[in-house]
Structure 1
Amino acid sequence: EDGRVDVVVHAAGIDDPVAKGHIYEAAEKGEPVDVLSRLEDPTWRRIHAVNLDGTFHILREAVRTMRPIGGGAIVTIGSSAAFDTLVGYPHYASSKAAVHALSQSVAKEVIHFGIRVNTVAPGPVDTAMAARTPESVRKRMNDGSAFGYATAEQLSESICYLASDQASNVVGAVLLSNGGRFTV
C-alpha cells in the first residue's frame, strides 16, 4: 500500500524426481547409486536455473527495490544438502551450495545500504516436493534426526526470525534448520 518492500523471502526451488527414482531403484536392488552418469544436461541446467538463477533474479530485484528506501531484509532458502548431501544429488546440492555463496556475497555488498541478506538451510521439509520422494529414500533422508521431516510452519519460524528486527545484527548467516541431522 505504501510502495515499500521491507521483507523478501525467496522460497522457490525444485529437486529432481528422476534422480530420486534412480536412488530408490539402487536401494531396492542393493546396488550403488548411479545418478551422475545418467544425469542429462537439460536436467542439470533446469535445477540450477530455478534454484540458483531464480535466487539471483529475486536478490537483484529486491535490492533494486529496497536500496532507495534505505533497507530491508531478504531471506533465501538454501539446503542442508549443500553441506551433507544425499548420495545421487550432485545437481541439487551444488545449486543450493551456490545459493548459500551467492546470498553471502550479496549480504556483504548490500549491508552498506541497510539491507540484510540471510539464508535458511533446511533439512527435509514435508512439502509437495517431499511427497514425491519414495518411502525408502525418505527413510534414508530421515536417518540421524530425532524429529523427522520438518513442517513448513517450523521452517517459517526460522525465516520470520531472520526477517525480523530481532536479527538486526545477523548478516550473511546460513541458519541450519535440519532437526539435528548434523552440525557445522
Structure 2
Amino acid sequence: MGDEKDNGRAGRFDGHVALVTGAGSGIGAAVARRFAAQGAEVFAADIDGAAVAAVAKELPGAHALTVDVADPAQVDRAFDEAVRVRGRLDVVVHAAGVDDPTAKEWIAGAVLAGRPVEVTGRLGDDAWRRVLRVNLDGTFHVLRAALRVMVPRRRGAVVTVGSSSAFDTLAGYPHYAASKAGVHALSQAVAKEAIAFGVRVNTVAPGPTETGMAARTPAALRQGFAGPGARPYATPEEIADIALFLASDEAANLVGAVLLANGGRFTV
C-alpha cells in the first residue's frame, strides 16, 4: 500500500479522519491510499460503489461510501455518516469529476483532418449541464458540507482538484474549462471566508495525468499534451502527494492557493 515516500511520512496524518471523493479510481484512489499509508482513517466516496468498495478494502479501517457529488442530498448523507461514525472530519479532498469523451473525439477528428475545431455549436445542453453539474455544482456541494462540519470545530483542511485547462483552455472544450475555472474561483472565494474559522481551502490544478480520463483521450490529443519540453504525464500518486501536502500542517500558511501541477507545459 505504501512506498518509500509514504514510509518517510508515516504518521503525518495519525489520528486524522479524511473523506475523499472520486476515490474509486485515478487521483482520488491515490489520495485515499496515501492518506491511509500516512495514518488517516479514510472515508472513500465515489459514484461507482463497487470500485470504491474495492479501494476501501485495501485500506485498514477504511469506509466505502457511494456518492454522486452532483446530488447535494447524497453529499450531505456521506458527511453525516462520517460524523456519525467518527464524530468529526479533519481533512477533505474532493477529486470527483467528469470529462466529455464525445467532445474529445470531435476535437481529435478535427486535428487529424487538419481543419479548425468546431464543437461549441454542436454542444448540447445535456452535455454542458453534465460537466458543470458534476465538476462545479459538485464542488459547491462538497465545500458546503465540509464547512458545515469543520467550522463549528474551528479547524480543518479542504483540497479541491481543478485543472490546468482553466488557464490554458483547449479549443473545443469550453464546458470543461469553464467548470474547472469555476472550481478555482469558487474554492478561492470559500477559502477567504473559511479561514476566519480556522478552515483552510486550497486547490491543486493538474495537467495531463494518467487516469481513466486520460485513457479515454484520443491518441491525437494525447500526443499534443505530451509534447517535448515537459515532463511526461503525471501519475495519480504525484498529484496525490500535492493534495496531501495542501491538507497537511506543512501548508499551514497556504489559503486559497491554486497550485499548477502540469509538468512545465506552461506557467501562469
TM-score bracket relative to the smaller structure: over 0.9
Tell me how far 1:146 sits from its aligned partner: 2.4
Q: Alpha carbon RMSD of aligned pairs, Å?
A: 1.0
- Which among 233, 238, 241 is matched to residue 157 of structure 1? 241
Return the alpha-carbon distance in structure 1 between the equivalents of residues 217 and 259 of structure 2. Answer: 24
Tell me how far 1:145 sits from its aligned partner: 4.6
Tell me how far 1:60 sits from its aligned partner: 0.1
Unaligned runs of 5+ in 2: 1-84
Structure 2 residue identity aligned to 1:18: T
- 8 Å CA contact 1:144–1:180 kept in 2: the answer is no
- Which among 141, 145, 153 is matched to residue 61 of structure 1? 145
Return the alpha-carbon distance in structure 1 between the equivalents of residues 228 and 107 of structure 2. Answer: 19
- 8 Å CA contact 1:145–1:179 kept in 2: the answer is no
Q: Which residue of 2 aligns with 1:182?
A: 266
- The percent of aligned pairs where both chains have the same amino acid is 63
Q: Which residue of 1 aligns with 2:113?
A: 29
Structure 2 residue identity aligned to 1:101: A
- 1:87-146 Cα offsets, whole Å, 9 max, x none, are 111110010000000000000001010000000000011001110011111111223552
- Which among 146, 171, 181 is matched to residue 255 of structure 2? 171
Q: Which residue of 2 aligns with 1:106?
A: 190
- 1:57-106 Cα offsets, whole Å, 9 max, x none, are 00000000111112100000000000001211111001000000000000
User: Does residue 1:75 correspond to 2:159, yes or no?
Assistant: yes
TM-score of the superposition, structure 2-length normalised?
Answer: 0.67
User: Does residue 1:47 correspond to 2:136, yes or no?
Assistant: no
Q: Which residue of 1 aligns with 2:227?
A: 143
Q: Which residue of 1 aligns with 2:203?
A: 119
Q: Which residue of 2 aligns with 1:84?
A: 168
User: Which one scores higher on RCO, CA 8 angstroms, separation ≥ 6?
Assistant: 1
Please give the secondary structure, in 2, of the residue aligned with 1:76: strand
Q: How many residues align?
A: 184
Q: Which residue of 1 aligns with 2:42?
A: none
Unaligned runs of 5+ in 1: none
Return the alpha-carbon distance in structure 2 between the equivalents of residues 175 and 28 of structure 1. Answer: 32
Please give the secondary structure, in 1, of the residue aligned with 2:116: coil
User: Does residue 1:15 correspond to 2:99, yes or no?
Assistant: yes
Return the alpha-carbon distance in structure 2 between the equivalents of residues 135 and 92 of structure 1. Answer: 19
TM-score of the superposition, structure 1-length normalised?
Answer: 0.97
